[in-house]
Amino acid sequence: AKAAGRGKHCFYEASMHSEASDRQLLENDLRGAIDRNELSVVFQTIVRAASEEMAGFEALVRWQHPKRGAISPAKFIPLAEECGMIGRIGEWVLNQALAAARGWPENVRVAVNLSPIQFNDPKIVEIVDAALKVSGVKPSRLELEITEGVFLADSDVTDGTFARLKELGVRLALDDFGTGYSSLGYLKKAPFDKIKIDQSFVRGAASRSSRNAAIIRAIVTLAESLDMDTVAEGVETHDDLQLMRDLGVSQIQGYIFGRPYGVEEATTLAESKSVE
């Protein structure tokens, strides 16, 4: 079912099983969601830990379903990946994100999530290049967030894509760091500029055992010696923020600095909070 092609349904046995047929219904709805204007992109701030200056925003997709209301990307992105729709959705998000970034100060970056399926599309470098050219945004302002899932595919193709994306001048971030199987090996292989420390290590770290802090400290040391930035994701409290600063994390993302914003609010914030 994973390799289901464009326009195909993933669950051929769908009508036999109610959970599967619910997915089938959702899949059908998702196919038309872009054209019906049901998808949107919101932007969450990423700030420098020491100065609280704006470093950039992460673009996050939203789906407002006409009957079911808001559906989480944690639910519909995997569906889009399984049903051959992630390429189109991901390219749409990329274009929306770059169009927004064009209206921000030059030193504010935009981070866009790239599904492993998009990453392993032989056309991905051309797609990113074309989107950058259409927007006029400098490649160094675009950060692509990638998870370890990309490494499960053919490694020659993967290595080549990393090299060509770096040639374009975009930045690469390893997302959800620490949750996968072989993160350290991947750090050796691929030219990441940034590590995003997964929320599961970060959230509540200040009030938990010191094990979380010890792990984060080790990740920061590793990142610094490989000349990479670190971002702590999921910072919600002042205690956790202070701990992340004490541990030397370079950037912070989390509800403490706000929920994701619509494009107008993000632009206003970018203009007021960034320092040239």
Two tokens at 218?
A: 């080790």
Q: Which is nearer to ligand C2E, 61 or 220 (CB)?
A: 61
Residues from 94 through 123 that contact Ca ion (CB under 5 A): 113
How many Cα atoms occupy the beta-carbon half-sphere of 190 within 13 Å?
Answer: 30
Q: Which is nearer to ligand C2E, 23 or 196 (CB)?
A: 196
> Of the listed pieces 1-9, 14-22, 71-79, 164-172, which binds ligand C2E according to CB under 6 A?
71-79
> Of the listed pieces 6-14, 127-135, 182-190, 254-262, which binds ligand C2E according to CB under 6 A?
254-262
Q: How many residues contact ligand C2E, by CB under 6 A?
A: 22
Per this entry, what is the length of the chain? 276
Cα-Cα end-to-end distance for the chain: 49
Q: Using the rule CB under 5 A, is 27 a contact of Ca ion?
A: no
Q: Using the rule CB under 6 A, is 96 a contact of ligand C2E?
A: no
Residues from 159 through 178 that contact Ca ion (CB under 5 A): 175-176
Two tokens at 249?
A: 């994390």
Question: To 5 degrees, how large is the angle CA 166–CA 169–CA 172?
Answer: 55
Q: Residue 149: name the closest of 108, 112, 177 by CA.
A: 177
Contacting Ca ion (CB under 5 A), which of 151, 229, 241, 252? 229
Contacting ligand C2E (CB under 6 A), which of 46, 90, 96, 165? 90
Could you tell me if residue 153 is left (phi over 0), alpha (psi between -120 and 50 degrees) or otherwise beta?
beta
Q: Using the rule CB under 6 A, is 74 a contact of ligand C2E?
A: yes
Q: Name the residue with tokens 């969601």.
A: 33
31: amino acid identity, one letter:
R
Q: Applying CB under 6 A, which residues contact ligand C2E?
A: 44, 60-61, 72-74, 77, 90, 93, 113, 115, 145, 175-176, 233-236, 253-255, 260
